[in-house]
Amino acid sequence: MRDSPNVIMLFAAGFGTRMGALTANTPKPLVQVAGRALIDHALTEVEAVTLETKVVNCHYFPEQIKAHFRDQDDITIIEEVDEILETGGGLKNALPLLGDGPVFTMNTDAVWSGENPLNALLKAWNPAKMDALLLCVPKANAIGHEGRGNLHLAQDGQLSYGAGSIYTGLQIVKTAALNEIKQSSFSVKLLWEKYFAENRMYGLEFDGKWCDVGTPEGVKLAEAMLAGGDV
């Protein structure tokens, strides 16, 4: 079994209801930000690391997601036909493609500024003591995010629930325990509960900026951030 992640799961199945008219006929990962689809911004970060497998799930307007990647042979699309499986269920459903060992998982509704976020996680990953390593940002570096943050990052990097940091939707996580979860549709937080209980949940604070693109206003903020403007 591998110790370091060489595969990634990109979550692209959600309805994007907070986007309003922008997602009435378009899946959120294909919403344009600075002339490019949101998911392509995510893939720009992904391309900075060497990965053997890239998996994208889809459900809402799946034919558009499939068409977007029609000419990209290095990306495998999984359509969640009957229901959205959420982050945990979607990851479990993709295990036959992702294999054993730790994987990257990444939401596709954000843009980044600064150090490559996947590289930052790789440098901090320690499988001997970690079952999950979440990339987090302080509120000051989280653009377009309405929450205050519900993760406390200790000096040694261990995570617990509490005010402080915001999860960016990017992590390295071990997946073996997914087979112990019987539900088909569930949040990855259900997997985290096991790792929290065993004191094997860790976080890394990201030095750059992260923009949560969940609303039309978030699109404008992301474009301003990418242009180097004040946000």
Is residue 177 domain-resident?
A: yes
Q: Tell me the CATH number at 57.
A: 3.90.550.10
Q: What is the pLDDT of residue 163?
A: 87
Contact partners, residue 139, CB within 8 Å, separation at least 6: 145, 148, 149, 166
Q: What is the pLDDT of residue 2?
A: 81
Write the DSSP symbol of residue 191.
H
Name the nearest CA neighbour of 143 among 220, 203, 205, 87. 220
Q: Which regions in the chain score pLDDT beneath 50?
A: none
Is residue 94 domain-resident?
A: yes
Is residue 83 domain-resident?
A: yes
Rounded to the nearest 10 degrees, what angle do helices 38-46 and 117-124 cross at? 40
The 10s digit of each residue's pLDDT in 27-48 is: 999 999 999 999 999 999 999 9
Q: What is the pLDDT of residue 161?
A: 94
- Confirm if 160 and 196 have CB atoms less than 8 A apart: yes
Is residue 74 domain-resident?
A: yes
Q: What is the pLDDT of residue 217?
A: 97
Is residue 1 domain-resident?
A: no
- Confirm if 120 and 39 have CB atoms less than 8 A apart: no
Number of structural domains, the chain?
A: 1
Q: Give Cα separations from 166 to 59, 71, 174, 198, 207 (angstroms).
A: 26, 35, 21, 21, 13
Name the nearest CA neighbour of 176 among 118, 90, 107, 91. 91
Q: Which domain holds residue 129?
A: 7-226
> Which tokens hold the place of 156?
């040694």
Is residue 2 domain-resident?
A: no
Is residue 231 domain-resident?
A: no
Is residue 158 domain-resident?
A: yes
- For the chain, give the mean pLDDT: 96
Rounded-to-integer distance, Cα 167 and Cα 150, Å = 8
E strand intervals along 62-187? 75-79, 103-107, 110-113, 132-137, 142-143, 151-153, 159-161, 166-173
Q: What is the pLDDT of residue 229?
A: 58
> Which tokens hold the place of 179?
């087979």
Q: What is the pLDDT of residue 1?
A: 67
